[in-house]
Each structure stands twice: as C-alpha cells, then as structure tokens.
Amino acid sequence: MPGSPLVGYTVLDLASVGPAARTSRWLADFGADVVKVAPTPKHGAAQVTPWFFAYSGHRGMQRVQLDLKEPAGRDAFLRLAAAADVVIESFRPGVVDRLGIGYDDVRAVNPGIVYCSTTGFGQDGPYASYAGHDLGYLALGGFLDCSGRDGTGAPVIPGATVADSAGGGMHAVISILAALLARSATGEGAYLDVAVADGVVALMSLAIDEYLATGEMPGPRHGVLTGKYAWYDVYACADERFVAVAVIEPHFFANLCRELACDQWLAHQYDDEVQEAMRADFRTAFASRTRDEWVVQLAPADTCVAPVYTVPELVDDPHLRARGVIVDAESDAHGAFRQVGWLFAGMDRHQATPQVRDQAITDTDELLTGAGYTATEIDELREKGVVA
C-alpha cells in the first residue's frame, strides 16, 4: 500500500480473536506487514478460529503455524521476531515467559522491539489472572451502570464490543504507535501492558472525573450525555423506527423546537422541572411522521438529528457509500461479499479488492526462508510437527 504510514513495519500477532486481533487488523490497514502466528494443527484447540469474515477476513496478512511449546518452534518465533518491529500477544500473564517468547526473550534478539501484551485486567493487580470478556470489562469500568436500562431496570447490553474495540484494540494501537514514534528518536523499544479494563476507565473519564471532583454520582438520566434532558434522547416515529436527538448547543436546540412546532420550550432548555413535559411533546411530534420523513426535514436544518439505523440500512446509506465505508471482497471458498473498508484517517481507501484466504493456508515456507532457514530445515521442522 504505497503511501500508507506503516509500510515497512512488521507485526507478529499471536492472537486469533479479541482486542489483540483488532489491533493487528488496524495496523495492517495502516500498511503494516502483519504475520498471524497460530498453533500447529496438533494444538489447534488452543485458539478460537474466527468466522471467515471476522476481522475483515485477515485481509492483507500472512500466516505461520508454529508449535511454541517445542524448543524448535520457540526458536523459529524468535528468529522471526528478530526482524520484526512489533509483537502482540494476548495470553494470560506469565504464559509467554514460560514459553520463552516473552519481552525479555525477544528483546535479547531485537532490542528495538515494541512488545504489546493485551489482557483484560493487566499484568499485575488482584484481577490479573481473571478470565473475562467485553461485557465484564464494561461492567467493571462503570460503562454499563451509566447506560440505559431495560424493562427490569437492568443495564442494557451494548450493541458493539466497546471494551474490546476501543478499550483494548484502539488503546493498543495508540500505545504501539506512540512507542514506535519514541523508538524513531531513541532507538529503544518498549513493553506495553495494555489492560482492556484500564481502557474502559479512560473512556469513562468524563463521568469518573465528575464524581471525583464533585461527589455527584453519574448514571442513566444523570447528565446531558446520559439522557437527563429531553433534547438528548431517542424517539419513536410513526413507523416504529427511531431517531436520535442530540442538540446540546442552544442554537441547535432552538432550531429543533421550531421544526417540531414546540416553540413553547425555547426558553427552557436546561429547566429541570419541565423536561418530562418537553419530552412528552417531543414524543408526540415525532410520532406524527415516519423516521425518514423527519430525517429529511431535520438533518439539514442544524438539529443534530440522525436515524437509528439497522445494520442493513447503514451499509447502504448514501453518505457512507460515498465515503467508501463498505468495500467488495472475494474469497475462494465463499465467493464475493462485502466488508468494512479502511476507515481511519490516513489509511489508503483506494486499494484493490481484498482477497480473503482460507485460514488453513499458511506462508510458513516464505516467512521462515526470510528468517534464514533452508528448505531442508523447514522440511525437517514440518516432519516433526513443529511448523505447518
């Protein structure tokens, strides 16, 4: 990908799913050469095999299978790591050290390595050894308690893996890029302890800092961003579809009131006593027309109103299509399909159609040859089941 900012950087990714897999996905989309390091078939149960479309089908990545429990497999990994820029792993604390592929082991052959460990709770602390998943990190980090409630009063399950994606994956990408930038000045690598729970706390910093500074307890309907006011909420329309309203600025609020024929509330944006009455009037107004009719009227009128899309709707939205958000892809096993494209600023959005390979296909011979192994040595490793 000429012009992509990470062209020439090599990343070894030991993870198959979760935050680490998202990290390498985005690094690859920035142009890095990502090598997925997977177990050999005899240890295949050690990793979860994601669906063919997950993580954009690992488009643009290479794959090597190594038995890291064997000394020869460990040595092969270290020889690959000697020429890499980044290593990403997501084992529980202590596992990579026991395997002989931890930070100190890799740093011994590559002092400039940026070594990123991603775990739920970090490398130390009382919860370091705990298993977990996205929902648990959101629970511990205060995200769920500040979210909406279902009919029983319980927090609702979010529609996206916010912890894995932002608390973990984006957290790791930012940290890795910062470490690579520092290395360009000092020549020194870094060890990065990326804890997903820490990342969720960072995402919740507005609410947490409010509590720490004022003693006010955040939660649903507590403040502007959690629905205290009628003008920051979701409303049903005549066709039982929804619009999201988020008119924080006074002039946008005034625009909304006028468009909804609710001028009686123009002078009462932050009047706590009238919010439920205002909300009732907004509900009545929105229920009088369909979602798309309201969006056509309100979105261009500086009212901060957006449709609540289903996934099938968003992938065909004209604005997102014009931005190249969705791209075509091809798979030998599954044929043509569509997938999310290269979205972050600085990524090359005009790439060739991705070819999504079967995950059983490896680049082991090519990669080990590049690391200095002869064809005979590779054949011997394969016969012993150390590589595949």
Contact between 12 and 87 (Cβ < 8 Å): yes
Cα Rg of the chain, angstroms: 25
Residue 226 is given by DSSP the state G
Which residues participate in catalysis according to the annotation?
A: 133, 164
What CA–CA distance (Å, rounded) separates 103 from 270?
53
| Cβ neighbours around 347 below 10 Å, total | 19
Instruction: Report which of 370, 361, 374 is spatially closest to residue 65, judged by C-alpha positions.
Output: 361
What CA–CA distance (Å, rounded) separates 12 from 194?
16
Q: Outline where the chain has alpha helix (H).
A: 18-29, 71-81, 95-99, 103-109, 134-140, 162, 171-186, 196-203, 205-214, 250-259, 275-286, 291-298, 311-314, 318-322, 364-370, 375-383
The string of DSSP codes covering 247-293 is --SHHHHHHHHHHTT-GGGTT-TT-GGGHHHHHHHHHHHHTTS-HHH
Residue 28 is given by DSSP the state H
What CA–CA distance (Å, rounded) separates 13 from 7?
17
